[in-house]
Amino acid sequence: MRSVNQKALVILSGGQDSTTCVFWAIDRFGKDSVETLTFDYGQRHRIELAAAGAVATYAGVPNHVLPINTFGRIGGSALTDDSVGVPSTESTELPATFVPGRNLIFLTFAAAYAWPREIHDLVTGVAQTDYSGYPDCRRATIDALEETLALGLERRITIHTPLMHLSKKETVLLAKELGAVDAMGLTHTCYNGSRPPCGACAACILRARGFAEAGIPDPLAAA
Amino acid sequence: MRSVNQKALVILSGGQDSTTCVFWAIDRFGKDSVETLTFDYGQRHRIELAAAGAVATYAGVPNHVLPINTFGRIGGSALTDDSVGVPSTESTELPATFVPGRNLIFLTFAAAYAWPREIHDLVTGVAQTDYSGYPDCRRATIDALEETLALGLERRITIHTPLMHLSKKETVLLAKELGAVDAMGLTHTCYNGSRPPCGACAACILRARGFAEAGIPDPLAAA
């Protein structure tokens, strides 16, 4: 189901999920029609930006980096505020890694970036199945944002979320189907910014479980 | 209809409309419950930031400034891109001063800023009556955004738009009713960044017409 002359912009964090989305978009839109957008938003782990660049180079698609210097001044999240620790356990409350509105901001800036470039399709790796506690990653939120963007930009922007209803295991199997497993060795997942990964944080544990359940070795763990 | 212990955050650009909103919010929520938020987003005219600070000081409310260094890298608008000229005539197309998604970004960041501070009410001076061609300033867009924020932040944030259906004349009359006319001498409106204002750009013409129709002298023009 490849669409000709239809460009897509993938939001690429450098992690496992967004990397899988790059290969999904190449499969769907064709390599020449895919570009990637990475946000330099003051994440504590600069290794994420390098990972995004390496993934894009490996996949053979452009990687644009947009700075956002705003989140650090809003405060309150473990991902952008050094004074907030990252918890290793999960809870039913909103997690300490919640940056209010972060995904809404990323998608709105991506739509703004797409606007003058005649790109009508965004792709993001958010998922609500292995529910991470981020309400702005749910499909209902994405649907509402699509409507907001259509009104606010006077253009229908489709936000593709190919991983939305997949488990981590299914995401790993999709990556294999798309020939993206080797690229996983370039990605970064660990909340503690370690390479090799710490193996103890919630992100590492979720990732390891997904690869184990899919029966596929994680090239990052093997490195 | 003053609400006790309910804080409001006014998005203050330093212009005539957002300044009127500061006084509207003080009247509605009480001075001690009002804060203002100004975005330093790379606007060509730094005088706007000074105007916002002066207005807040005059009104006796705090002014917070949040930086956004992203728009300049998106490009395409006369307000943030020096290579794009500001047209002095109006047209039915989207204006050259359109920054895609700017108002959506402002409101989403304002909601994110409000989130950890337990502020549930935002106030913005957008208006669709003297229609400026910005689709993200219409009430339908704001309604959709409220829904998106409620889902994405798991909290109902009300976005007040007291000027939405007022003409410029009616906005000037409202400012008079709220005791805000003197504060207009501190505001900045001119697209060309001039002080005293150029009087020739679309923003200056619209402002002058509003004061003239209201039969009230503009303290800025008289300065």
**Tell me, what's the ipTM?**
0.88
Of B4, B15, B9, the C-alpha closest to B159 is B9
- Is there a domain that residue A148 lies in? yes
Q: Is B74 within 8 Å of A112 when comparing Cβ atoms?
A: yes
Q: Please report which confidence band the pLDDT of residue B214 belongs to, taking 50, 70 and 90 as the band edges.
A: very high
Tens of pLDDT, residue by residue over A18-77, are 999 999 999 999 999 999 999 999 887 889 999 999 999 999 999 999 999 999 888 755
- Is there a domain that residue B2 lies in? no
Residue with the bigger pLDDT between A155 and A3: it is A155
- Is there a domain that residue A2 lies in? no
Alpha helices in chain B (DSSP H): 16-29, 47-59, 71-74, 102-114, 139-153, 168-177, 202-214, 219-222
Residues in chain B closer than 8 A to A151 (CB atoms): 135-136, 138, 140-141, 144
* pLDDT of amino acid B133: 66
Residues in chain B closer than 8 A to A149 (CB atoms): 101, 104
Q: Is A104 within 8 Å of B73 when comparing Cβ atoms?
A: no
Q: Is B108 within 8 Å of A101 when comparing Cβ atoms?
A: yes
- Is there a domain that residue A25 lies in? yes
Backbone φ, ψ for residue A156 (5° rounding):
-80, 115
Q: Is B112 within 8 Å of A99 when comparing Cβ atoms?
A: yes
Supply A192's token pair: 């503690």
Strand partners, B66: B39
Instruction: Report the number of distinct structural domains present in chain A.
Output: 1
- Is there a domain that residue B170 lies in? yes
- Is there a domain that residue B82 lies in? yes
Count CB atoms within 10 A of the CB of residue A30.
Answer: 16
Domain CATH for A165: 3.40.50.620
* pLDDT of amino acid A103: 94
Residue with the bigger pLDDT between A197 and A62: it is A62
Q: Is B140 within 8 Å of A151 when comparing Cβ atoms?
A: yes
**Chain B interface, best mutation among A102, A148, A156, by max B CB count within 10 A:** A148
- Roughly what angle, to the nearest 10 degrees, separates helices A16-29 and A168-177? 40
Residues in chain A closer than 8 A to B67 (CB atoms): 69-70, 73
Chain B residue closest in CA terms to A116? B76
Domain of B201 in residue numbering reads as 8-222
Backbone φ, ψ for residue A94 (5° rounding):
-60, 135
* pLDDT of amino acid A87: 44
Chain A residue closest in CA terms to B151? A141
Per-residue pLDDT at B26 exceeds 50? yes
* pLDDT of amino acid B67: 96
For the entire predicted model, the pTM comes to 0.89
Residues in chain A closer than 8 A to B112 (CB atoms): 71, 74, 99-102, 105
Residues in chain B closer than 8 A to A99 (CB atoms): 112
Chain B residues whose C-beta sits inside 8 Å of any chain A C-beta:
66-71, 73-76, 94, 99-105, 108-109, 111-113, 115-116, 135-136, 138, 140-141, 144-145, 147-149, 151-154
Half-sphere exposure of B186 toward its Cβ, with a 13 Å CA cutoff? Answer: 21
**Chain B interface, best mutation among A35, A64, A65, A74, by max B CB count within 10 A:** A74
Per-residue pLDDT at A183 exceeds 70? yes
Shortest alpha-carbon distance between residue B190 and chain A (Å)? 24
Tens of pLDDT, residue by residue over A77-128, are 544 544 544 444 444 455 556 678 999 999 999 999 999 999 999 999 999 8
- Is there a domain that residue A94 lies in? yes
Q: Is A138 within 8 Å of B151 when comparing Cβ atoms?
A: yes
Q: Is B74 within 8 Å of A136 when comparing Cβ atoms?
A: no
Shortest alpha-carbon distance between residue A113 and chain B (Å)? 5
Tens of pLDDT, residue by residue over A140-182, are 999 999 999 999 999 999 999 999 999 999 999 999 999 999 9
Tens of pLDDT, residue by residue over B190-211, are 988 888 889 999 889 989 999 9
* pLDDT of amino acid A221: 81
Could you give the C-alpha distances from B103 to A56, A65, A165, B11, B120, in angstroms and in order?
A: 31, 22, 31, 10, 18
Residue with the bigger pLDDT between B89 and B181: it is B181
Tens of pLDDT, residue by residue over B33-83, are 999 999 999 887 889 999 999 999 999 999 999 999 999 888 755 445 445
Residue with the bigger pLDDT between B90 and B187: it is B187
Supply A105's token pair: 């901001």
Residues in chain B closer than 8 A to A115 (CB atoms): 76, 100-101
Q: Is A111 within 8 Å of B101 when comparing Cβ atoms?
A: yes
* pLDDT of amino acid A45: 82
Q: Report the percentage of chain B scoring pLDDT > 70.
A: 85
Between CA B214 and CA B101 the distance in angstroms is 32
* pLDDT of amino acid B129: 74
- Is there a domain that residue B1 lies in? no
Shortest alpha-carbon distance between residue A131 and chain B (Å)? 14
Angle (CA) B140-B110-B195 rounded to 5° is 90
* pLDDT of amino acid B5: 64
Q: Is B75 within 8 Å of A144 when comparing Cβ atoms?
A: no
Per-residue pLDDT at B222 exceeds 80? no
Tens of pLDDT, residue by residue over B79-120, are 454 454 444 444 445 555 667 899 999 999 999 999 999 999
